[in-house]
Chain A
Amino acid sequence: MEKRVTFGKWTIGILFAVPQLILIFTFFYWPAGQAVYWSLTLQQPWGGGNIWVGLDNFRSILANADYWNSITASLTFAAISTGLAMVIALVLATLTDRQLAGSRLYRVVLIWPYGIAAPALALAFRFILAPEAGFMAAVNKFWPGFWDPGLNGADAMASVIVAFSWKYVGYNFIFFLAALQAIPRSLIEAAAMDGSGVIRRFWDIQFPLITPTIFFLLVINITESFQDSFGIVDIMTAGGPANATNLMVYKIYSDGFRGLDYSGAAAQSIILMLLIILLTIVQFRFIERRVHYR
C-alpha cells in the first residue's frame, strides 16, 4: 500500500485553507455576487434605492449596436495583440536561447517592458505615435495623411495594439526562454548531428516540447487583453475615434463610473466574465488536445 502523509483530522486541513478561502471570498465571490445582484436591478447611484428589473439590463445592452461594436473591437484587439505578443516573444526567446552574441544582455533587457505600468507606457506611446509631433510625424511628412489615429479608427486600434503587445512581449519572453532552456541540450545536439538545420530543429523538437508553455501563455494573454487593456485605452484614445477602440472593459468603466450607470456596467461585467470563461473553456477543450505534457 502506498504511504501518504495526511493530517489526522480534516479540520486542520480546513484551517490551513481558511485564510485563502477568506481572501477569495472577500475579493472575488462577494463582489461578483454583488455585481450579479446589481445587474438584475436598477441602482440609484447615491444609494437612494433600487428596483428589480430582472434581465432588462442584459436585454437593453444586447440590443445596443454600440455594445456589439465593443465586443467586436475587443475580440479583434485580443486576437491581434495576443498573436503579435506571442510570436515576437517566441522569436526573441529562440534567438536568445541560441546564445548569440549579447544574449545575456537581451535576457535582462527584454523583461523590463512588463514592469512598466500601463498608463505610463501608454503615455510614452502616445508621444511616439502622435501624428504631428512624434516618430510618426516623420512618416506623415513623406506620406501626408498616412497616419491619423485622431480620426481613423484602424490607426487608433493599431496604436493600442502596439502598446499592449510591447508590454506583453516582455512577459511572454520570460516564459518562452525558461521553457526553451528546460529542453535537454542532448536532444538538440543529437538532431544537429543528424544533419537538421536550425529551423527544422525548432519545428520538430523545440516547438512540440514547449507547447504546454504556449498554451499557458495563450490563455493568459487572451484573458489579460480583455482586462489589462484599460489603462492603455484610457490614456491613448479614451475609446475613440467614434468608438473604434471602445473595448468592453473600457466601456464598463465609462458607463459605470463616468455615466453612473452602475447596473448597466454590472451587467456588462457579467457578460465580460462569461465571455472570458467561455473562451477559456474553448481553449482547454480544443487547443489543449494538441498540447504534449511531459
Chain B
Amino acid sequence: MTIIKRGLAALAAGALSTALAAPASAEPVKFDFWFGLSGDLARVVDTLCKNFNASQSDYEVVCTSQGNYDATLQNTIAAFRAGKQPTVVQVYDVGTATMMLSGAYKPADKLMEENGYKIDYSDYFPGIARYYATSKGEMLSFPFNSSTALMYWNKDAFAKIGKTEAPKTWEDVGADLKALKDAGYDCPMAINISGNESWQLMEQFSAIHNQPIASKNNGYDGLDARLEMNKTKFVQYVTDLKKWYDAGLIKIKSKDLGQDMVQAFATGTCQVIMTSVGDHGTVGKTQKEGMKWDVAELPVYAGTERKNSLVGGASLWVLSGKSDAEYKGAAAFLNFIHDPKTALFWSTNTGYIPVTKSGFEYMKSSGFYDKAPYKGREVAIESLTASEPTEITRGIRLGNFTQIRAEFGTQMQAIFANKESVQDGIDALVKNGDAILDRFQQTYPNKTLP
C-alpha cells in the first residue's frame, strides 16, 4: 500500500514538475521523426532529439527507432498508405531512387526556402551531396549519417614483412598478402561475400576506378539503365579475390561462421579488412590490447587515376501531406542537424563523418582528428574528396537496388563455392539484376527520375 502511495506521489510530483517546466505559452508543435539505427547509435539519435527540443520551445520532435533501414522504409510505406506517415524519415542510400519516384516527399531545398532558412548547398562535400541530389543537382533530401569504405591494416603484421605503409595498389596487396602468409599469418585478409558487401567490393571499387555499375551514368539519366559490371575492371578484381582465396591468402569471415570481419581484425586474427569508417570506433574499443593498426584508402590497380569513393549511409526525407506548422518544425530540425556543432556531436559519438565542409573544418579546428581514438578518420574525407565526382562516381541511382545487392551476394557465393566461373557468375548477376530493373521500370510507367 505504501509503495503504491509513494508511487502515486512521485507520479504527481513528476507531472507537476513537467507542468511547471513547460512554457506558459502555447504547446510546442509535435512532429515525428522515424529512423533506422539501433543500439548505441539509436541512443545518440535520441540525445540529438533531446538537444533539439531543449534548444527551442516552439517544436518538439518525437524520435522513434524502427530497428533497421529496411524496416524503416517498409513501415513508412505502410504508414503513408494509411495516411499516418511521420514528417521526417531516414532513408538509406540505396532507397533514394524509390523515394524519388514515390511522389510522397516534399523537396528539402523547397522546404528550407519556404521556411526562410538559407542553406549553402555547395558546403556539402560534392561526393555526398550528388549521391542524394537529382541529376540536375537539386537536393531532395538532407544527407545525414555518412561514411565511406576504408582499408584497415595491422601495423604489427606489416612490420614483420618489412612494411611501414599500407599497400596502395592491388598488385602490392597481392604481394603483401603472400608475404604475410609466408610469415606465418593464417588469415592475411578477411572478406565477406553477402549482399551487404556489395558496397565495398563492387560499388566502392567501381567508383574509385571510374567504372560504371550500370548504363545511363549508373541510372541517373533514366529508368532504362541496365547493369554492365560484367564488362568492367570489376571482373578482374573478382578474379584476383578468388585467386587469393584459393591460395589461402583471403578468408571468408561472417557472423554465421562464428566471427565477422571486424571482430577478426580487432582480435588480430586477420590482418587486413575493408569496411566502413563507421567501424573505426568499434575496432578501437574491442581491439586486442596493444595492437597497432591504421586505416588507409582502398587500393587501386596500378596505373589507375583514383576517383572519389562513394558515400554510404542515409539521408533525411520530409514526407508530403503534413501541416504547415509541422513543416516549420521539420525545417528547424533539419537546420539544427546542419549546424557544424551538431556535426561535431554526431561524429564524436558515432563513427560517421561530417557531411559539410564547414562541419569538417570546425571539427579539425577543435582538434578532433588529433586525438587518439579519432585519429585516422580524416582518411575517409580524403577518400570521398579524392576527385571531383564524375558522371559515374556521383553515385548509383537504380531501382530496387537492395535486391541487386542480394543478387550480388548470391552470385559471389556461387563463384567462391566453385559452382560458377567468375565471368559466368557476374554475367548471371547482370542478367538477374536487369530483370529486377525491368520490373522496376514497368512498375513506374511514364515516370522519370527527377
Interface residues of A (CB under 8 A from B): 42-48, 51, 53, 60, 64, 66, 126, 130-134, 137, 149-153, 236-243, 254-255, 257-261, 263-264
Contacts and interface: CB of A to CB of B under 8 A. Distances in A.
B87 to A, nearest CB: 16
Interface stretch (B15-23, B329-337, B367-375, B413-421): B413-421
21 contacts: A43-B443, A44-B101, A46-B80, A46-B81, A48-B104, A53-B442, A64-B435, A66-B432, A130-B257, A132-B259, A133-B257, A137-B258, A150-B252, A236-B256, A242-B410, A242-B417, A242-B419, A243-B410, A259-B400, A261-B439, A261-B443
Contacts of A150: 252, 254, 256-257
B444 interface: yes
Given A130-B256, A137-B258, A258-B403, A44 B80 contact: no
Contacts of B403: 254-255, 258-259, 261
B350 interface: no
Interface string B418-450: 010000000000001001100100111100000
Contacts of A237: 256
A160 B110 CA distance: 50
Given A48-B102, A133-B257, 16 more contacts: A42-B443, A44-B444, A45-B77, A46-B80, A46-B103, A53-B442, A126-B255, A130-B257, A131-B257, A150-B252, A236-B256, A238-B194, A242-B410, A243-B410, A261-B400, A261-B439
A258 B102 contact: no
A132 B413 CA distance: 18
Interface residues of B, number: 39
Top 6 A-B residue pairs of the complex, sorted by shortest distance between their CB atoms: A133-B258, A132-B258, A46-B102, A241-B413, A130-B258, A259-B403
B385 interface: no
Main secondary structure of the interface of B (DSSP, over half): helix
A60 B443 CA distance: 14
Q: Which of A66, A132, A255 has the most CB of B within 10 A?
A: A132
Given A151-B252, A257-B70, A260-B400, A46 B417 contact: no
B414 A242 contact: yes
B278 interface: no
B163 to A, nearest CB: 28
Contacts of B81: 46-47
Nearest to A235: B256
Nearest to B425: A242
Nearest to B102: A46
Interface of B: 70, 73-74, 77, 80-81, 98, 101-104, 194, 252, 254-259, 400, 402-403, 406, 409-411, 413-414, 416-417, 419, 432, 435-436, 439, 442-445
Nearest to B445: A51
B444 to A, nearest CB: 7
B414 to A, nearest CB: 4
Nearest to A65: B432
A154 to B, nearest CB: 11
A48 B53 CA distance: 34
B72 to A, nearest CB: 12
Contacts, number: 98
Contacts of B439: 60, 261, 264
Nearest to A46: B102
Contact of A44 (B74, B409, B417, B443): B443
A240 B194 contact: yes
Given A152-B417, A242-B419, A258-B402, A42 B442 contact: yes
A218 to B, nearest CB: 32
Contacts of A133: 257-259
Nearest to A149: B256
Contacts of A243: 410
B201 to A, nearest CB: 16
B382 to A, nearest CB: 33
A153 B417 contact: yes
A54 B259 CA distance: 47
A261 B103 CA distance: 17
A153 B436 CA distance: 24
B98 A45 contact: yes
A255 B439 CA distance: 12
A240 B102 contact: no
Contacts of A64: 435
Contacts of B409: 240
Contacts of B436: 259
Q: Which of A46, A47, A239 has the most CB of B within 10 A?
A: A46
A149 B417 CA distance: 11
Nearest to A238: B194
Contact of B77 (A46, A126, A258): A46
A64 B409 CA distance: 18
Contacts of B406: 239, 254, 258-259
Contacts of A255: 403
B297 to A, nearest CB: 29
B70 A45 contact: no
B175 to A, nearest CB: 26
A151 B410 contact: no
A260 B194 contact: no
